[in-house]
Amino acid sequence: MQPYDERLTAPRSWWFIAVAAGIAVGLIALPFGTLSFLGVFAAGTALSTAVVSAYGSARIRVVAGSLVAGDAKIPLDALGEAVVLGRDEAIAWRSYKADTRAFMLLRSYVPTALKVEVTDPEDPTPYLYLSTRSPEQLAAALQALRA
């Protein structure tokens, strides 16, 4: 069993927007007939929902001595202190406090985050910024496996 596994799914409102985009694209084809409208509506909705699904498929997991965040896999022994960021601190660290060298798994619809220091001297990345809905649980999972 994994001590931590989270999928950063997109909010419901984004799915409604994706369907609305399909309708809008379908309306463009309406002058060409009902079948054209239905075909373009179906294709537009499928494409926009695929984009929302892909964006919302980012996962954060702590498994087998590693932190897996999106496409990145970092061994736990290369990580240092984990700092839980509330809403205001998370906004600050993804804007004016941000370091351009940092790895950021950023989802704007997730208000809280975890900032994890990278201690590997060969890695130029100073820290990881991970948008997460439960930063305390993620920090606890990292701490539990490091101990």
Question: What are the pLDDT digits (tens) for 3-12?
Answer: 889 999 999 9
Given this model, what pLDDT does residue 57 score? 84
Total domains in the fold of the chain = 2
Q: Are residues 79 and 122 in the same domain?
A: yes
Q: Are residues 45 and 113 in the same domain?
A: no
Using left for φ > 0, alpha for ψ between -120 and 50, and beta otherwise, residue 70 falls in: left
- Amino acid identity for residue 73 in this structure: K
pTM: 0.83
Q: Are residues 47 and 79 in the same domain?
A: no
The range of the structural domain enclosing residue 46 comes to 4-55
Q: To which H or E segment does residue 130 belong?
A: strand 127-131
Q: Are residues 46 and 75 in the same domain?
A: no
Q: Are residues 142 and 94 in the same domain?
A: yes
Given this model, what pLDDT does residue 147 score? 65
Question: What are the pLDDT digits (tens) for 108-120?
Answer: 899 999 999 999 9
Q: Are residues 68 and 139 in the same domain?
A: yes
Q: Are residues 80 and 111 in the same domain?
A: yes
Look at the alpha carbons of 115, 120, 125, 126 in this order and tell me if their dihedral is positive or negative: positive
Q: Are residues 51 and 74 in the same domain?
A: no
pLDDT over threshold 80, residue 2: no
